[in-house]
């Protein structure tokens, strides 16, 4: 395979003051960084790493072979570029700071809150309104569990679960997302109101989904996965470092979505924590999240209550993983993640507000 080059922002600093030309702002957000890790895989797959100051990165890129330099320039422009807000009807969701996406599962078998709202759309709506009131910018409604080992759900059953909830929430003005892999469910949801589409298969499960999203003009989240829910956790394996494979896979899915007529500015990427990854894979992805800004799309992180938290804390069950979930949300925020998809909205909002207070204080020049 040809040589490949990757850029990972690192060396984060509290504020840019006094560092003119020596720090850069990450994706138009609150974090600033002073160093870039340049990772290169040669034709034989051998990896080399360099740590380069921000003020020297463009000169170092120019010294690369032209085929590598072109990709590195694109990545660098994406890393320091800004992200357009998400527009959902009259709601504008800015991406220059972390935003919370509240999870609403109307399924009988989701790993965390399955069967909580089955047959009771009013209770589901009440929970969604509570999450929005607590500070969630978007409510992500799903009618099919994609936990490890889950079986596919017939699209008719999935629509029956989500449509009544979406209809009631749309009338309340709540910004919405539909979590589905199926074109028919996307169409039913988008007929109710403009909303984001969150597809854990990155538009690969159903060949009609890309057409539906392109026609609607909806924002779409493309998530990395390896295998389907039934098999994805059966000895997941990567031939190269997981962060690099996820980066390249998402780049290919972005290109496929754009080729299908989806505007690049409406694409969001998700590293897919827990979807075809073991604990070590997940940790490597979380430590290297900032690299994904090189794709030029907003990042959504869904690590809330994931099994890895239990694995790192005495096998704590899903309903006892709040502290670990907040730790991972803050890890995402410090690396410029724009959308944090969580179960525990009030607690995560509070954590992000404290984090934001620290950032604001650092970015306010001392008198």
Q: For 154-171, what is each residue's pLDDT tens digit?
A: 999 999 999 999 999 998
pLDDT at 199: 97
CA–CA gap between residue 98 and residue 96 (Å, rounded): 7
Q: Of 25, 71, 161, 306, which one is the catalytic site residue?
A: 306
Q: Residues 6 or more apart from 158 whose CB is under 8 A from it? A: 143, 144, 180, 182, 185
Question: What does each C-alpha distance from 209 to 158, 159, 187, 218, 255 come to in angstroms?
Answer: 15, 15, 9, 12, 15
Token pair, residue 294, equals 């090189």
Active site residue 266: no
Average pLDDT, integer, range 207-216: 98
pLDDT at 113: 60
Burial class (CB in 10 A: 0-12, 13-18, 19+), 90: exposed
Active site residue 215: no
Provide the H-helix boundaries in 35-105. 57-62, 66-80
Q: Residues 6 or more apart from 2 whose CB is under 8 A from it? A: 43, 67
Token pair, residue 175, equals 């910004």
What is this structure's pTM?
A: 0.95
HSE of 253, CA atoms in CB hemisphere, 13 A = 27
Whether residue 150 is predicted with pLDDT greater than 80 in this model: the reply is no
* CB contact at 8 A, 125 and 160: no
pLDDT band at 147 (very low <50, low <70, confident <90, very high): confident
Question: What does each C-alpha distance from 241 to 10, 198, 249, 346 come to in angstroms?
Answer: 18, 26, 12, 35
Give the relative orientation of helices 155-171 and 121-134 as an angle to the nearest 10 degrees.
50
The alpha carbons of the chain give a radius of gyration, in whole angstroms, of 20
pLDDT at 117: 64
pLDDT at 89: 83
* CB contact at 8 A, 15 and 23: no
- In this structure, of 55-64, 137-146, 198-207, 227-236, the range with the lowest mean pLDDT score is 227-236
* Domains of the chain with bracketed CATH: 4-80 (no CATH), 86-362 (3.20.20.20)
The pLDDT tens digits of the residues spanning 227-286 come to 777 666 777 889 999 999 999 999 999 999 999 999 999 999 999 999 999 999 999 999
- pLDDT, mean over the chain: 93
Average pLDDT, integer, range 70-97: 96
pLDDT band at 112 (very low <50, low <70, confident <90, very high): low
Whether residue 172 is predicted with pLDDT greater than 60 in this model: the reply is yes
Q: Of 25, 147, 161, 341, which one is the catalytic site residue?
A: 341
Could you say which DSSP state residue 291 is in?
G
- In this structure, of 67-81, 91-105, 149-163, the range with the lowest mean pLDDT score is 149-163
Could you say which DSSP state residue 273 is in?
T
CA–CA gap between residue 260 and residue 265 (Å, rounded): 14
């Amino acid at each position: 395979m040809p040589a490949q080059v990757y850029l990972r922002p690192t060396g984060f600093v509290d504020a840019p003051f006094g560092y003119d030309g020596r720090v850069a702002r990450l994706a138009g957000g609150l974090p600033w960084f002073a160093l870039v890790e340049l990772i290169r895989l040669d034709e034989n797959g051998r990896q080399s790493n360099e740590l380069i100051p921000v003020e020297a990165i463009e000169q170092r890129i120019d010294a690369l072979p032209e085929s590598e330099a072109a990709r590195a320039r694109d990545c660098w422009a994406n890393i320091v570029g800004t992200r357009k807000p998400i527009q959902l009807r009259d709601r504008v969701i800015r991406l220059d700071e972390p935003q919370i996406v509240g999870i609403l599962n109307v399924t009988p078998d989701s790993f965390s809150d399955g069967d909580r709202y089955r047959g009771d759309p009013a209770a589901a709506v009440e929970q969604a309104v509570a999450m929005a009131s607590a500070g969630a910018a978007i409510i992500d409604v799903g009618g099919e569990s994609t936990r490890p080992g889950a079986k596919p759900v017939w699209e008719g059953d999935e629509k029956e679960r989500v449509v009544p909830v979406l209809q009631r929430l749309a009338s309340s003005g709540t910004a919405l997302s539909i979590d589905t892999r199926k074109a028919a469910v996307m169409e039913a949801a988008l007929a109710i109101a403009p909303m984001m589409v969150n597809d854990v298969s990155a538009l690969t499960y159903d060949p009609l989904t890309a057409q539906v999203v392109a026609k609607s003009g909806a924002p779409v989240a493309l998530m990395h996965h390896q295998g389907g829910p039934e098999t994805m956790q059966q000895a997941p394996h990567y031939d190269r470092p997981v962060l690099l494979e996820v980066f390249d896979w998402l780049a290919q899915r972005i290109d496929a979505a754009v080729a299908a007529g989806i505007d690049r500015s409406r694409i969001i990427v998700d590293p897919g924590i827990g979807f075809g990854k073991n604990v070590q894979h997940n940790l490597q992805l979380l430590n290297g999240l900032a690299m994904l800004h090189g794709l030029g799309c907003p990042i959504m992180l869904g690590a809330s209550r994931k099994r890895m938290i239990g694995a790192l804390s005495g096998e704590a069950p899903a309903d006892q993983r709040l502290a670990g979930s907040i730790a991972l949300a803050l890890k995402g925020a410090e690396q410029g993640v724009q959308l944090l998809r969580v179960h525990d909205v009030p607690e995560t909002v509070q954590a992000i507000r404290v984090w934001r207070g620290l950032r604001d204080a650092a970015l306010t020049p001392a008198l």
